[in-house]
Amino acid sequence: MLFFRPGSREPRTYSLDEAVEFLEFDKQTVTYWLRMGHLPGRQDKRTGEWQIAPQALIEFLREAEEPMPTGIARREEVFVQAERTAIRT
């Protein structure tokens, strides 16, 4: 997972499907969390698509006291990058 779009300074956001893959929960559950505000995200008013910040995914797992998902090395990289970002701010 990248924090910025390649070639851009704009923060990278993730779709509902990408969040489902990262969190390893089903789509209905993640949609419920988004609608209830448990998982921060924005829904595009025109398209209805959800946009979720990478940091929101990590903070959600921490607050829920859920372990970081395993099996995909890129997820560990997100965790390390998020830690570095949190330390700098």
pLDDT in tens, 3-55: 444 555 566 789 999 999 888 889 999 999 999 999 999 999 999 999 999 88
Helix (H, G, I), strand (E, B) or coil at 50: strand
Q: Which residue has the higher pLDDT, 61 or 81?
A: 61
CA 74 to chain centre: 13
Write down the pTM of the prediction. Answer: 0.65
Q: How far apart are CA 65 and CA 62, in angstroms?
A: 5
CATH of domain 16-88: 1.10.1660
Residue 70: pLDDT band (50, 70, 90) is low
